[in-house]
Every structure is written in structure tokens, then in C-alpha cells.
């Protein structure tokens, strides 16, 4: 394969060619938020080893695509969504992690707005949004990958405004609170939560109310990205006490 690459200098290729190449995969940890629960998108694996077991969605990195491109392709194939919040997390390289072959796998995690998924998109029928508290056993080291992603999400969500990636563009404060309660698996005091969110001055209150959950209704808010960037430049830190 390397020898055929005409762009490369052949002497260099000889040096590199001494080494063993490895299959490299991307595994995608996809979080969504619905019914007041943090959920993970998992699929039933349809080939061996591990056929019929639950798994993250993944795929192999191709010859002419970057790691990030592979991760985006895999996410798009499953959800029809592009330009999502995605973070590379960790590369898992234990020799026997996949019983099928030596595969080095890089995990990425994404936060998606479940309601944005185009249900007409050919999302594979064996995918399922599973609440993180009810996860079945996952194949290989996928359980460990999810655990690391959750730790990372919890480490970040209180000091960076990434939680908004999981909400619709307009949301109520009770919705935002229930998101944070789902991420941190704890209840927050309503008044303190409102206070710490609003004092950061990052939410624009809209003239609309959501009346689905109460007669009186709850005001809708929108996260102001521009204001956040401006505050960041001034040395401000996002902070929700957890």
C-alpha cells in the first residue's frame, strides 16, 4: 500500500515500510437528552465477533480520510447530522481489546440535539437511545469508553457552556436544570441554580413562554454565544457549582 503511493519519496517509504501497520477505528459516543434523561445512542452489532450484542457505533479509518473526517462520516451515517459538537477523547491501543483483530480505536464523543435527527434519514433500525442509567453491557472496551466520556462531560459541563448543545435552541430554565441534574445525577436547588445561571448574563430571555408543562408557563431563553465569546476575552469563567 505504501509503496504504491506515488507522492512519497521511495527511500523514505523503505524506512517506514519496516514497521507493522495496524487497523485503526473510530468509536463514537453519542449523547442526547430527552425525557429529563441523558441518553446514549447504541446499536446492536450485526457481525461477529459480538454479533447481537450492544455496541457503540464505529468504523475503520480509510486510506484517504483524516481521523476527524472518519468520525464525522460515522456520525453522519447514523444520524444524518453534520457540524455537531464533537471531541476526540482517547485512543485505546491494548493488543487484545478486539477479539477479531488488533484494532487501535480512537473514541470521540458528541453532544446532539435529539430533536434535530431527521427521522426520514436512513438511521439504522437497530439503533436505540438508552438512558445512561440503564445501559446494557457493551462489547469489548466500549463500556470503558462511555465511562471516560461521562467523566469528561462532567468535568467540562460545569465550566464550559457545552450543555446547551444537548438542548433545543430555545429552552426553559427548568429544562436546563433537569439537563444538569441528568448529567451530574443529583438534584439542584431551584433558586440557587437560577441565580448562578442568570448572574453569568449569558442567556437572553425571550418574549415567548413554554406552556406545555405548567398553566402559568415558563419563559424561554436562548444561549448567547456572542456574549460568551466576548466575556471569555475579558477573562470570565463559565461556572455552575456542582
Binding site for its own copies (CB under 8 A): 1-2, 5, 8-9, 11-13, 15-17, 19-24, 47-49, 60-68, 70, 88, 90-95, 99-104, 106
In the complex, least distance from residue 45 CB atom to its own copies, rounded to whole angstroms: 12
Q: Which three cell numbers stand for residue 6?
A: 506515488
In the complex, least distance from residue 180 CB atom to its own copies, rounded to whole angstroms: 18
Q: Answer yes or no: are the C-beta atoms of 153 and 184 closer than 8 Å.
A: no
Which CB atom, from 106 or from 172, has the smaller least distance to its own copies?
A: 106
Residue 97 burial (10 A CB sphere; 0-12, 13-18, 19+): middle
Q: How many CB atoms lie within 10 A of CB 161?
A: 19
Which CB atom, from 92 or from 113, has the smaller least distance to its own copies?
A: 92
Q: Answer yes or no: are the C-beta atoms of 48 and 127 closer than 8 Å.
A: no
Which CB atom, from 62 or from 217, has the smaller least distance to its own copies?
A: 62
Q: Please provide the DSSP assignment of 128-169 as one string.
A: EEEEGGGPPPBSTTHHHHHHHHHHHHHHHHTTSTTGGGGS-S
In the complex, least distance from residue 133 CB atom to its own copies, rounded to whole angstroms: 23
In the complex, least distance from residue 106 CB atom to its own copies, rounded to whole angstroms: 5
Which CB atom, from 16 or from 124, has the smaller least distance to its own copies?
A: 16
In the complex, least distance from residue 239 CB atom to its own copies, rounded to whole angstroms: 13
Which CB atom, from 32 or from 141, has the smaller least distance to its own copies?
A: 141
In the complex, least distance from residue 192 CB atom to its own copies, rounded to whole angstroms: 18
Q: Answer yes or no: are the C-beta atoms of 40 and 110 closer than 8 Å.
A: no
CA 218 to chain centre: 28
In the complex, least distance from residue 55 CB atom to its own copies, rounded to whole angstroms: 14
Which CB atom, from 39 or from 45, has the smaller least distance to its own copies?
A: 45
Alpha-carbon dihedral 57, 42, 148, 158, rounded to 10 degrees: 110
Which CB atom, from 17 or from 213, has the smaller least distance to its own copies?
A: 17
Sign of the CA dihedral with 154 first, then 157, 158, and 160 last: positive
Give residue for cell 463559565: 238
Amino acid at each position: 500500500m505504501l509503496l504504491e503511493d506515488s507522492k512519497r519519496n521511495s527511500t523514505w517509504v523503505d524506512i517506514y515500510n519496516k514497521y507493522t501497520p495496524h487497523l485503526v477505528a473510530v468509536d463514537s459516543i453519542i449523547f442526547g437528552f430527552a425525557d429529563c434523561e441523558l441518553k446514549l445512542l447504541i446499536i446492536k452489532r450485526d457481525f461477529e465477533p459480538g454479533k447481537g450484542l450492544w455496541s457503540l457505533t464505529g468504523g475503520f479509518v480509510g486510506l484517504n480520510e483524516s481521523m476527524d473526517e472518519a468520525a464525522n462520516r460515522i456520525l453522519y451515517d447514523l444520524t444524518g447530522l453534520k457540524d455537531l459538537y464533537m471531541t476526540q477523547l482517547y485512543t485505546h491501543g491494548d493488543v487484545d481489546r478486539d477479539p477479531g483483530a488488533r484494532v487501535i480505536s480512537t473514541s470521540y464523543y458528541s453532544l446532539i440535539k435529539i430533536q434535530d435527527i431527521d427521522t426520514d434519514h436512513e438511521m439504522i433500525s437497530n439503533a436505540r437511545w438508552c438512558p445512561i442509567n440503564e445501559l446494557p453491557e457493551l462489547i469489548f472496551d466500549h463500556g470503558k469508553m462511555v465511562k471516560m466520556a461521562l467523566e469528561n462531560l462532567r468535568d467540562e459541563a460545569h465550566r464550559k457552556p457545552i450543555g446547551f448543545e444537548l438542548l433545543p435552541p430555545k429552552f426553559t430554565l427548568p429544562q436546563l436544570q433537569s439537563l444538569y441534574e441528568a448529567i451530574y445525577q443529583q438534584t439542584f436547588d431551584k433558586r440557587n441554580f437560577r441565580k448562578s445561571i442568570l448572574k453569568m448574563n449569558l442567556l437572553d430571555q425571550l418574549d415567548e413562554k413554554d406552556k406545555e408543562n405548567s398553566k402559568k408557563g415558563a419563559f424561554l431563553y436562548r444561549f448567547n454565544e456572542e456574549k460568551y465569546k466576548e466575556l471569555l476575552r475579558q477573562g470570565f469563567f463559565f461556572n455552575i457549582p456542582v
